[in-house]
């Protein structure tokens, strides 16, 4: 089968590789589409080359991040082509599905304490920039009839947006600033609207992305390279700041600025990956005087079912463009330049 293999930092190659075999408790999926994730772009950015995967590995964990050449891709949809004999959920060949890229053990300390995203025995899927991939059955979600396979490929990033809004504890009628108008920023915008945010500002330097944000429900958009975001915040909030500020840009300077944009008792959420080892100074007396809260986002525990329920209500088509697997590097380069939004790779 054809697959896009990450041969090294910044090197992706389309190769012929063997189809993955399923274990008795697994399901094999013919991949229809797999989205290029912003986290994968970091392999092509020099500032992320050191400490690129500084994910926390729990003490005593048996699983480790894979090393060496590997098939990438985790935002995927497709059709079931084979069901292992020991599966129990009743999945059938021919069902249209979307998938989580992580399978959790369910029995470790973290899984039993509502923190499955820190599972000590997490099992990764086989990689979805490929014609076929395998998953444990707990990672499979059947798509409703009114969700296309293209839209279904956005289930995983939509689940991250749902988790972000959970963490933000956004209240109906609250105000929100989103810093960064990439795919995650846009999905956060859409989910926040449906969660009851009354006024939303989105800060993004790319004009086309600001225009799209306005169509998707942003109350205001700002170009932070030409406008003073702190002054705009003062003007738009009568000098108070935002109830919630979410950074989806992945830039350290922006994550720092987010703290200055929050109102008293506000919540700041860092919903992005940042260069490994980068430090961000925070002034404790400033935090104390305003009673601020800073939170962060790591994947999306317990959010896939709710994200699946939301997919038919989200406006996803404007986010999507499609490229064949042979042009995956072209799609990566476009996203690195701030072009496009959610590029889906079609393996066959």
Residue of 42, 74, 117, 163 marked catalytic: 42
Helix axis angle for 229-236 and 252-261, nearest 10°, is 30
pLDDT at 47: 63
Task: Report the pLDDT value the prediction gives residue 50, as an integer from 0 to 100.
Answer: 47
* Start-end of CATH 3.40.50.720 domains in the chain: 161-296
- What CA–CA distance (Å, rounded) separates 164 from 168? 6
Could you report the per-residue pLDDT of 319-343, keeping only the tens digit for each?
999 999 999 999 999 999 888 999 9
Helices 183-195 & 207-216, crossing angle to 10 degrees? Answer: 20
What is the structure's pLDDT at 22?
Answer: 94
Rounded to whole angstroms, how far apart are CA atoms 262 and 256? 11
Task: State yes or no: is 42 an active-site residue.
Answer: yes
- Give the pLDDT of residue 55: 43
Query: Quick one: pLDDT at residue 62?
Result: 52
Smallest CA-to-CA distance from 274 within 258, 259, 296 is with 296
CATH of domain 2-154+316-346: 3.90.180.10
Q: Which residues of the chain have pLDDT under 50?
A: 50-57, 60, 63
User: What was the pLDDT predicted at 246?
Assistant: 98
* Catalytic-labelled residue, pool 39, 148, 296, 321: 39
Question: Per the confidence metrics, is the pTM higher than 0.85?
Answer: yes
pLDDT at position 278, please? 87
Considering the chain, tell me which residue range(s) the CATH 3.90.180.10 domain(s) occupy. 2-154+316-346
Question: Is the distance from CB of 15 to CB of 5 less than 8 angstroms?
Answer: yes
Query: What pLDDT score was predicted for residue 9?
Result: 79
Cα distance between residue 244 and residue 52, in whole Å:
28
Q: Is the dihedral of CA 38, 323, 311, 313 positive or negative?
A: positive
Residues 6+ positions from 193 with CB-CB distance below 8 Å = 200, 216, 217
**Length of the chain measured in residues:** 348
Class of 161-296 per CATH?
alpha beta
User: Quick one: pLDDT at residue 56?
Assistant: 47
**How far are the Cα atoms of 75, 219, 223 from residue 165, in angstroms, in the given order?**
20, 18, 24
């Amino acid at each position: 089968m054809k697959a896009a293999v990450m041969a090294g930092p910044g090197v992706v190659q389309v190769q012929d590789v063997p189809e993955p075999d399923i274990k008795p408790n697994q399901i094999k999926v013919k991949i229809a589409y797999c989205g290029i994730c912003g986290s994968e772009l970091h392999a092509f950015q020099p500032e992320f080359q050191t400490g690129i995967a500084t994910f926390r590995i729990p003490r005593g964990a048996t699983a480790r991040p894979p090393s060496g050449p590997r098939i990438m891709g985790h935002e995927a949809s497709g059709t079931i082509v084979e069901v292992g004999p020991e599966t129990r959920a009743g999945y059938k060949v021919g069902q249209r599905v979307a998938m989580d890229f992580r399978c959790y053990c369910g029995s470790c300390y973290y899984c039993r304490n509502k923190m499955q995203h820190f599972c000590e025995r997490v099992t990764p899927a086989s990689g979805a920039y490929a014609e076929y991939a395998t998953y444990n059955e707990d990672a499979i979600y059947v798509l409703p009839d009114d969700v296309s396979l293209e839209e279904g490929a956005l289930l995983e990033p939509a689940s991250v947006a749902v988790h972000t809004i959970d963490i933000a504890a956004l209240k109906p009628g609250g105000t929100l600033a989103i810093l960064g108008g990439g795919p995650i920023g846009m999905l956060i915008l859409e989910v926040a609207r449906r969660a009851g945010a009354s006024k939303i500002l989105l800060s993004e330097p790319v004009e086309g992305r600001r225009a799209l944000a306005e169509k998707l429900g942003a109350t205001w958009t700002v170009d932070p390279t030409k406008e003073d975001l702190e002054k705009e915040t003062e003007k738009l909030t009568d000098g108070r700041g935002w109830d919630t500020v979410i950074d989806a840009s992945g830039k350290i300077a922006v994550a720092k600025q987010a703290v200055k944009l929050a109102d008293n008792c506000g919540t700041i959420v860092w919903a992005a990956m940042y260069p490994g080892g980068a430090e961000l100074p925070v002034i404790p007396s400033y935090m104390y005087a305003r009673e601020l809260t800073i939170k962060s986002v790591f994947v999306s525990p317990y959010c896939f079912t709710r994200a699946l329920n939301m997919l038919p209500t989200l406006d996803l088509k404007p986010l999507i463009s499609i490229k064949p697997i042979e042009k995956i590097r072209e799609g990566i380069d476009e996203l690195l330049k701030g072009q496009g939004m959610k590029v889906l790779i079609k393996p066959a």
